[in-house]
Structure 1
Amino acid sequence: MKKSLKQIKYLIAAFVIPVLVVMIAFGFRGIAPLGNHNLLVSDLATQYLPFFEFLRTQLVNHTFSTYSFMLSLGDNAIPVYTYYLMSPLNLLAIFMNAENVPLLMEAIIVIKIGLIGLAMAWFLQVKYHRQDIVQVIAAVAYGLCGFVAMYFYDFMWLEALIVLPLLTLGLERLFYQGKWGGYVVALTGMIFLNYYMGYMMCLYSVIYFVYLVFLNRKPGVKFFQYLKTRKTMTIKYMTSSVLAALLACFMLIPTIVGMLSTGKSTIKLASFLPIPRFLPSAFASLGVGVTNFVGRLNHEPSMFIGSFFAIGLFSFWFSKQVKRQEKRASFWLVGAIFLGMLIATTDTIWHMFQIPAGFPFREVYMLSFVAIMFGYEAYLKNALQDNQVVLKAGLTLAALISIGYGSVVIERLAAKRYHFETPQYIVSYWYLILALVFVILITVSLWLVNHFGKKVWWLVLILVAAEMGTNMFLALGGTHEYGDQTKFNQAFKQSQKLIKATTEKRTSFGREKVNNQLYSDSFNITYNQYNDSLLYNFTGVNSYTSSLNANTHDALAKLGLYSRNERRISSNGSMPITEQLLGIDKFITIDKNGQLTTETNELNTGLGYAVSSQIKTLKYDSEAIFQNLNQLVQKETNSKENYVVENKINHVNVHQNQGYCYEVTMTPKISGIQYMDLSTTSPNQELHVQVNGKKLKTPYHQLGAEVIELGNFKKGEQLTVSFTSNSRILEMEPHFAGFADQKFNQYLKEKVPYRLQVDNPEKLKLQGADFTGKVTTTKERDLVLISIPFDKGWSVAENGQKVKTMKVANGLTGVKLKPGTHQLEFHYEVPGMKLGLILSGLGVIGIIAQVVYFRRKQH
């Protein structure tokens, strides 16, 4: 009984102490509920909160749709679920009011940190068959390591730190006892929880398996010779790895197929060059407080595990108490992960063959885990009882940290001299002193343990908790971007009420363009409203997700809608031609004071409309947005009418002043709204635009990567546009054009009888995978252009007979029909789902077969 209580006591401490430390760090930063700030910054604000609300909406309404029209123009929802939302803790969202979801996300982060510590302590207890306070110290170090401090904003990855110790235990049980079930469960579970980290875990399992071989083979026995002597174990490892992957295929295959349809599927060969990804400055991260929130997107590897286990690792290598073979095996395990980060070739492979766009070195938590494991082994092997070894290890750690800081000076001077961008090396040079102080305190405390006995371990625990907590506190610093929870709560509830009143109970399908300044103003960051459709349950255009369909991006970006990269698309830059293409019929503005204004386009073309089959020949030029817009309408009508006409450029003045300043005088060739587009010359910069000497007012933040409305001018009326640009523009004509709005409005009236009328359009918000609609076609209008991104998962049928779908307009869906009125049935089947289910079924059969085979072999 006492033994059980002792074991539980340490496990409870392993969960509770990291939780208390992180709560104290949050409290000092004023983060709710210990303050009024929230963590709605970075991806937590722009992705995770909307995705949580999306999940919550599905749970509350008892629905699950594999396709969602709230993901931009519509998209496969499976990659969103599998990449962002698979944690069981996310189900807590069903018990929360929508405005309190930010607090739930913070609670989940804290709970996961506690579970990371618990998993580490459990691993050490089971692996080494003992319970002691050093396991609690390991839990604190692992639960609050550098990866957690810098990456918790992407808290979907934190599951990997929980599963890693369990997977390692499973590997060891398989290797030493032949029991493979735990390994299969852990690996399958990780792939299921987050396939991205699951992929990394597969690579880790190979590295750790090789480590176990190096650790256990006798001198003179070669690697493959040893595997032959352990043939049964080797077969179990290989088959179990395959079976784990097969079991997860029911969601893995559809996810892979979905991700291959994104713009991120392109492989960049330059990423595989065998060049270093970081320099000696990375060793500074062994000390406390090197990086903070500001450098979260671009920094050196977050190797921080605290001074105690760093000293422990070096003591393991320095001590004579540790066998040479154990040291060599540890060199392989630590070195394989470290060199995997260092060399661009292997680091790219670690990250699924794509260099990360922010939050680099995502595999670094594995280095932290194995370093802590070897540090604990140093304690078990009495390496820490040798004061000389501890002193040598402490001096080594201090030297590496100092070398790191010294390298920062050199690298910054070189960067300044040769004008290249650098990551965030360190926050402050003063933190070198703080880091060295902790190294000294830990070193002294280990001497005290050796002199006064086990009671001093409590002092070590307090010092480690203080060091890890200090690092977490400093990592949270450097910014005033944390949100105001009270302000957010009020803005969210008011916005929800206003948007719901204007978007619910639709009688025809349409998309909304919402500019919610009230909600945006509740953040202390530039908030771009990318995923607000998921927050407020409406069909829009904006989206920011790693799973954004490339067809959505390509179809819209080349028509002048704002796109910062292949993961983002915005309705900013829309004009009447794109608005009719996408069926945008409501324009909703909520100002900072909560005042609502709405405009409705009664000529809305809905989800699709019949056009000329000439649309099949439409090809966009990425360098000519206005030409693309004009040709779109021409191909729809099979005419040569010009709706977008380039202006006559009379005169251009340009001078350089931290970029280029232009003053362009022009004359419109047609009366109507005049537009500017600089997406190919000055993308993603904040322009300063004046029209006839007056500052141009825009309802959104970005200017430069989208079509910009300049105002309404008559044909022949001269106007002057002044603006800044990062680049030299040699040809002005393609960047300014007038729009024949009256002529286009007449065209819209002619299209009304030929639009696709969706049955029960309100249902598409929650159940977008199946719907029906009616459309009329003629001989001249024999192709229905549907504003759904082309996706092989869609099938269209009329009276049970399938109708062939085709890719038109650079990424949208088209269906060619005979003249007449057609009742169409739309059904979405997730690409790869059938194959995934078949493979998972084979995995189940394989598990049964493996159980039967090895049981019979034992008998």
Structure 2
Amino acid sequence: MNKKLKHLLGYVAAFLIPIAIVSVAFAGRGIAPVGNHNLLVSDLATQYFPFFNFLRTQLQHGTISTYSFLFSLGDNTIPVYTYYLMSPLNLLVGLVKSAQIPLLMEALIMIKIGLISLSMVIFLRVHEHRFEWRQLVAGTAYGLCGFVAMYFYDFMWLEALMVLPFLTLAIDRLFTKGKWGWYTFTLLVGILLNYYMGYMLCVYSVIYFIYLLLLHQPQSMKFWAYVKTQGTCLAKYIVSSLLGGALSAFLLVPTLVGMLSTGKGSLSFVSFLPIVRFLPSDFLSLGVGATNFVGRLNHEPSLFVGSFFALGMLVFWLSPRITRHEKRASVWLVGAIFIGMLIATFDTIWHMFQMPAGFPFREVYMLSFVMIWLGYQAWQRGAFQSRTVVVQAAVVLAGLLTLGYGAAFLEIRIARAVHWSTPFYVTSYWNWIIALVFLGVTVGVILLSQKHPRWWPLILVVVAVEMGTNFWLALGGTNEYGNQPRFARHFQQSTRLVETARRNDRFTRLDVNNQLYTHSFNINYNQYNDSLLFNFYGVNSYTSSLNVHTHDALTNLGLYSRNERRVSVRGLTPVTAQLLSVGRQVDIDQQGHRTITENAQNTGLGYAVAAGSAHVRLVNQDVYGNLNRLFQAESNTKQTVFHPNRVQTLQKHQQGGQFKYRVRVTPTLSGPQYLDLQRVSPNQKLQLAVNGKRVASRYPQNGAELISLGKQSKPFVVTLMSNRKLTAQDWRTTFASYQPEPVQRFEQATKPYRLQVDNPRQLALHGDRFTAQVRTTKDRPVVLISIPYDQGWTITADGKPVKMKKALNGLSQVTLTPGHHRLAFHYQTPGFKVGLIISGLGLLGVLLASWMWKTPRTVRRNKKW
């Protein structure tokens, strides 16, 4: 066979084999296109699908806006793009309809898995200086390793698995040949595709460079003495690493600035304590089915690479064919990554100094790559030919699997006895038997292939079956997969209902409670990012890049939040509805019947208020006080609109770690009543009843929000659950009566002073620049703007610059002279100019380094790396 054709067929096979395996696994779970299920679960439903639809809208209108009012009250979009959407494959979203995006995401997952496998095969061909069909076995194992099986729901990370083999080759090239350009470029690509995983690749590059130093260190020379002899190579490595980072600064710096404005900007000391992150039970993940969909958010490192390559790594260390020097270097490479996961201090550093919330041990794919590579080296160098070594390795691996399941059995029972949470979910103890069967079959095939080399394809078959079985098991344990035909139908119907409910003549935010769309899913769907799906201005948002000012201002005013990544319109009161210009409530029931409730006063992006509003500061865990202070300042009165109620405890009962209360509430005023649940865990199931009747909720869990208890004129009885014991002070600030008349009068009086956007529809596509008009007076000189405070905004009033200041701990305000004003808003992504300058300097650095480190061209090129 022609050599080039052989290589081409090998690459095609490397790409298609894992795709075929995944297709069979998906079909086994009834996932489209074979079945009716889709993968709209977990972050695929709540984040990726809305973000993909947002990207689709931007692409179809030929614009990429750096600021969008579809993200809660408005937000910088650069961190969303750089964290979620930088893969070139995502551009395919512009070619499909919105309702078909779930199917596209499934296709992208399979394509990426195929490319991961292909990257491993290319790595082995280049590293070993030849192509052989056995490399397909390594490619299949890498493309379907435990990380992929458990983390593909966050498929923005899969590009890192493609980059890792090329980065390894590039560091090899730099170390052995002094050629640094490919390393700089590969590092740049890794950072641009996903800066979070790009950071992890930078950490890996340091570990791998040290591995190369250990591998090439002469036995007669001390390590540090050898390092000194590699001064030029070390200098090239450091400089080219810095250049790779500098070239990415045009995106990296604005992203960093944006992420520092989120709730993730603070560090937790506890995360850096040198405690053990997992126990011996993790060794069971060396076998199939260690965990499944149920345990995807909270599990131990997914070490699974298949029995063949787990054996291969052990054979590498046990075989006399591998030198002691190589073994020592490989122990560093494996150990540095493993210890980095085991000790919380290092694991936190791996995860960009923030302990991950769900999907832990995200660096484990690097260990999978190394394990597969070491196993392949053992195979390629004939280490498997020793029956004794293979049997020894099999005994060790079987022992580790047995230790893992035995430890898990004990750990779970000890944790239950002392009421600890168990971080590891074991799918089934029967999988121990299945794992041992695969191990036995693998050993048998290895021994058979050593006697009859032509039988080696059986190894590929066994590895493919085992990897496919693990992937299929990882998809199990749930009934949450969606129904694609039902979803498409409900999505299209919801699009029509919300589109005709939008107000296009004036800016106003919507409170959309779309139960029709919510019941398209088999998960608890909380409608966080529906504004990105149906193109309306709202309050809800769920992103890792949520502006902390948005979060803090809204939660201090009583709106729902489970954590720093989520905010919701739930908890809205007439005071906050006016502040945020929430002028329409759109309710769509499960049958698609729509009801619209409108407050025509609540339009505009803000309104002029009394000067005292400029000095209001919100106090944590004092929602009623904050609402009263806000209303008093903006209306320039001493009127209180939320009045504390008297509470009498009738019954208190403790159930485990939960407290059940039954209290009598005596309203201070007749009318609307509210309950503040800020002091109750936001992750606790909502269990609330008034006079024995359960209070309906849009969400199944509590958040830090106000809950309306309806209109009451007489004492009423409330039953609620809390995860902590409530004190007398808690009860004094938990229930309040609302007085609507002063707020209604203020709303009417404020109508002439609202900040009206000239073309409100454009904010969906061009939120980074717009104009608006407002009227101010001597009594109302401050314009309170419902935009999160962000230093990227510049504002001019009648052509003259005015300074935006922070209001209410997180929103914005400007002070104007009396009269009618035209305001022009322009957003410049913070850090972009600085990043552009650094990237420019990085480009100059590349040119300078190319000149300084220029190698003379030889007449005959060496085709090998």
Q: TM-score range by the shorter chain?
A: over 0.9
The structural deviation recorded for 1:858 is 7.9
Shift of 1:418: 1.9
Residue 560 of structure 2 aligns to a residue whose secondary structure is coil
Q: Which residue of 1 aligns with 2:839?
A: 840
Native 8 Å contact 1:605 1:751 kept in 2: no
Whether 2:721 is the aligned partner of 1:721: answer no
User: For residues 501-536 of structure 1, what are the alpha-carbon distances to aligned partners after superposition, in whole Å with 9 as ceiling and x for unaligned?
Assistant: 1116x1111101100100000100000000000011
Instruction: Confirm or deny that 1:200 pairs with 2:200.
Output: yes
Amino acid at match of 1:620: L
State whether structure 2 residue 511 is matched by structure 1 residue 544: no
Look up the match of 1:789. Answer: 788
CA offsets, 1:239-292, max 9 Å, x none?
Answer: 111110011000000000000000011101111111111111111110111010
| Paired AA for residue 71 in structure 2 | L
- Which amino acid in 2 is paired with 1:258? G
Distance 1:856 1:445, change over 3 A: closer
Q: What is the CA distance between 1:687 and its match in structure 2?
A: 2.8
Give the CA deviation at 1:728.
2.3
Match of 1:696 in 2: 695
1:226 positional shift: 2.4
- Between the aligned residues of both structures, percent identity stands at 55
Map 1:794-833 to 2 at 5 A. 794-833=793-832
Q: Could you tell me which residue of structure 2 aligns to residue 93 of structure 1?
A: 93
Q: Is the 8 A contact 1:581 1:605 kept in 2?
A: no
Counterpart Cα distance in 2 of 1:281 and 1:707: 43
**2:849 matches 1:850:** yes
5 Å-filtered alignment, 1:382-401, equals 382-401=382-401
How far apart are 1:188 and its partner, in Å?
Answer: 0.2
Letter in 2 for 1:206: V
Q: Which residue does 2:569 correspond to in 1?
A: 571
The structural deviation recorded for 1:818 is 1.6
- Partner residue in 1 for 2:258: 258
Between the aligned partners of 2:34 and 2:765, the Cα distance in structure 1 is 36
Contact 2:506 2:603 in 1 (8 A): no
Q: What is the aligned partner in structure 1 of residue 611 from structure 2? A: 613
Q: CA RMSD in A?
A: 1.4
Number of the residue aligned with 1:322: 322
User: SS state of the match for residue 133, structure 1?
Assistant: coil
Structure 2 distance, partners of 1:702, 1:395, is: 48
> Relative to structure 1, is the Cα distance of residues 355 and 703 closer, same or farther in structure 2, using a 3 angstrom cutoff?
closer
What does residue 307 of structure 1 align with? Answer: 307
Letter paired with 1:748 = E
Alignment: residue pair count: 855
Question: What do the CA deviations read for 1:716-739 (whole angstroms, capped 9, x no partner)?
Answer: x33222333333222323111111
**Taking structure 1 as reference, are residues 702 and 400 closer, same or farther at Cα in structure 2, changes over 3 Å only?**
closer
Q: Is the 8 A contact 1:14 1:117 kept in 2?
A: yes
Kept after mapping to 2: 8 A contact 1:509/1:606? yes
3-state SS of 1:660 partner:
strand
Q: Which runs of 5+ in 1 are unaligned?
A: none
Alignment partner, residue 170 of structure 2: 170
Whole-Å separation in 2 of the counterparts to 1:495 and 1:53: 15
Matches of residues 611-690 of structure 1 in structure 2 within 5 Å?
611-649=609-647, 652-657=650-655, 659-690=658-689
Which residue does the alignment assign to 1:530?
528
Quick check: 728-737 or 473-482, which moved more? 728-737
Give the match for residue 862 of structure 2: none
Residue 742 of structure 1 deviates from its aligned partner by 2.2
Between 1:808-817 and 1:474-483, the stretch displaced more is: 808-817
User: 1:703 Cα shift?
Assistant: 4.1
CA shift at 1:605, angstroms? 4.2
Unaligned runs of 5+ in 2: 859-865
Question: How many angstroms apart in 2 are the aligned matches of 1:250 and 1:243?
Answer: 13
Q: State whether residues 630 and 642 of structure 1, in contact with CA within 8 Å, keep that contact through their aligned partners in structure 2.
A: yes
Q: Contact between 1:281 and 1:425, CA under 8 Å: does it hold in 2?
A: no
1:146-178 Cα distance to aligned partner (Å, 9 max, x none): 000000000000000000001111111111112
Distance, in Å, in 2 between the alignment partners of 1:650 and 1:729 is 13
Question: Aligned match of 2:592 in 591, 594, 603?
Answer: 594
Q: Which residue of 2 aligns with 1:766?
A: 765
Question: In structure 2, how many angstroms separate the alpha carbons of the residues matched to 1:84 and 1:493?
Answer: 25
- Do the aligned partners of 2:690 and 2:709 also contact (CA within 8 Å) in 1? yes
Deviation at 1:682, TM superposition (A): 4.6
The amino acid across from 1:529 in the alignment is Q
Aligned match of 1:71: 71
1:280-295 paired onto structure 2 within 5 Å: 280-295=280-295
CA-CA distance at 1:652 after TM superposition: 3.6
Cα contact 2:682–2:701 (8 A) shared by 1: no
Could you tell me how far 1:626 is from its partner in structure 2? 1.3
- The separation in 1 between residues aligned to 2:366 and 2:283, in whole angstroms, is 17
Question: How do 1:439-478 residues align onto structure 2 when only pairs under 5 Å count?
Answer: 439-453=439-453, 455-478=454-477
| 4+ long deviations beyond 6 Å | 856-859
Amino acid in the other structure paired with 1:32: A
Alpha-carbon distance between aligned partners in 1 of 2:86 and 2:703, rounded to the nearest angstrom: 37
What letter is aligned with 1:479?
A: T
- Specify the alignment match of 1:247 in structure 2: 247
Does the Cα contact within 8 Å between 2:562 and 2:703 map onto a contact in 1? no
1:104 paired residue number: 104
Q: Which amino acid aligns with 1:725?
A: S
Q: TM-score, normalised by structure 2?
A: 0.97
Change (3 A) 1:179 1:856: closer
Q: 1:650 to 1:361 in 2, by over 3 A?
A: closer
Structure 1: how far apart are the matches of 2:704 and 2:636?
30
Q: Provide the C-alpha distance between the structure 2 equivalents of 1:653 and 1:259, rounded to a whole number of angstroms.
A: 46
The 8 Å contact of residues 687 and 725 in structure 1, kept in 2 or not, is answered as no
1:857 Cα shift?
7.6
Asked whether 1:734 is paired with 2:733, we answer yes
* Secondary structure of the structure 1 residue equivalent to 2:456: helix
Deviation at 1:197, TM superposition (A): 0.3
Q: 2:863 corresponds to which residue?
A: none
Match of 1:124 in 2: 124
Return the letter of the residue paired with 1:422: T
- The verdict on how the C-alpha distance between 1:176 and 1:630 changes in structure 2, with shifts beyond 3 A counting, is same
Give the deviation of 1:673 after TM superposition.
Answer: 1.1
- Secondary structure of 2:278's counterpart equals coil
C-alpha distance in 2 between matches for 1:248 and 1:491: 41
Q: Greater shift after overlay, 277-286 or 648-657?
A: 648-657
User: Are the counterparts in 1 of residues 207 and 336 from structure 2 also a CA contact under 8 Å?
Assistant: yes
Partner in structure 2 of residue 780 of structure 1: 779
Q: Which residue number in structure 2 is paired with residue 229 of structure 1?
A: 229
Structure 2 Cα separation of the partners of residues 510 and 428 of structure 1: 52
Question: Which whole-Å CA distance do the structure 1 matches of 2:702 and 2:273 have between them?
Answer: 35
* CA distance 1:231–1:684, shift in 2 (3 Å): closer
CA distance in 1, matches of 2:722, 2:599: 34
1:16-38 per-residue CA deviation (whole Å, 9 max, x = no partner) reads: 11110111011100010011100
Letter in 2 for 1:39: L
Residue 712 (structure 1) shift = 1.6
Within 2, Cα distance between the matches of 1:697 and 1:335?
A: 52
CA distance in 1, matches of 2:603, 2:845: 52
Q: 1:610 to 1:163 in 2, by over 3 A?
A: same
